[in-house]
Amino acid sequence: MHISIGRRTRLTALGAGLITVAAIAVSAAGPAVADTTDTGGTAALSVPRAAVVGLGKSTIIMLPGSPNSASYARGAETFTMPVTGGTGEVSNFTGIVDLGGKLIVINTKAGKTVTITGLELNLFTGALTGVLPGRTAHTPLAFIGGDLSTSKDTATETVSATEMDLSAKLASALNAALKTTAFVKGTNLGSFTTTFDFTSS
């Protein structure tokens, strides 16, 4: 499946709209899709060089927290995360894909650090979410934008987006905690893709 999404579109209605389409297709083609359990895989956020340099000029750096890793190639810094579980289902855009590790954001000039834990991809809202320091609920970090592609075979599902647009909530939280103005709502953080194995029940 391939969908184009406006850069500033907020995807709170994405799941509902696509579920409606999927429900029509399923009702015409056969029984409902079985429940799935995600059993492993990887996800990657590739931040373009321009964004990395822009943050660097504001003395902001992003680092992966174990077991995540980061590498630089072809003009982008890529943060790679393991898929640790979840119930993500690309055929009807439901469920959550659980991601391991942390994302660490540092303002080297101010000496401030924010560690984001509990990373997840919420397929229903189209948001990459995480838990900010001092909080327990998940906060949207970025929303899927640009071109969205999905695929599924008998044991593997894939979701790819050409953009991940910074959420207003994360921009505000990081600016406050890190004593900066570097984070702007809607900034394209780069492309995102996840491929994960699943079992059906």
Summarised one tens digit per residue, pLDDT across range 48-73 is: 999 999 999 999 999 999 999 999 99
With H, G, I as helix, E, B as strand and everything else as coil, classify residue 71.
strand
Using CA atoms, how far apart are residues 184 and 182, in angstroms rounded to an integer? 7
- Asked if residue 109 is part of any domain, the answer here is yes
- How high is the pLDDT of residue 201? 79
Using CA atoms, how far apart are residues 67 and 65, in angstroms rounded to an integer? 6
- Asked if residue 100 is part of any domain, the answer here is yes
Q: What are the helix (H) ranges across 5-48?
A: 14-29
DSSP code for 33: P
- Residue 6, pLDDT > 70, answer no
Tokens linked to 19: 């579920």
Inter-CA distances, 96 with 38, 93, 99, 125, Å: 9, 9, 9, 10
Task: Determine which helix (DSSP H) or strand (DSSP E) holds 79, and give its type and residue range.
Answer: strand 76-86
Domain hosting residue 158, numbered range: 2-23+37-200
- Asked if residue 29 is part of any domain, the answer here is no
DSSP code for 167: P
175 — alpha (psi -120 to 50), left (phi > 0) or beta?
alpha
Q: Using alpha carbons only, what angle is made at residue 40 by residues 37 and 44, rounded to the nearest 5 degrees?
A: 120
Work out how many domains the chain is built from and give that number: 1
Residue 171's CB is within 10 A of a number of other CB atoms, namely: 19
- Asked if residue 86 is part of any domain, the answer here is yes
Mean pLDDT score, 140-168: 96
Torsion sign over Cα 177, 56, 71, 142: positive
- Asked if residue 32 is part of any domain, the answer here is no
Query: pLDDT confidence of 74, banded at 50, 70, 90?
Result: confident
Whole-number CA gyration radius for the chain? 17
- Asked if residue 28 is part of any domain, the answer here is no
- Nearest CA among 165, 155, 158, 160 for reference residue 185: 165
- Asked if residue 54 is part of any domain, the answer here is yes
pTM over 0.75: yes
Q: What percentage of the chain has pLDDT greater than the value 90?
A: 80
- How high is the pLDDT of residue 2? 53
Helix %, strand %, coil % for the chain, to 5?
20, 50, 30
Using CA atoms, how far apart are residues 98 and 85, in angstroms rounded to an integer? 5
- Asked if residue 30 is part of any domain, the answer here is no
Mean residue pLDDT across the chain: 87
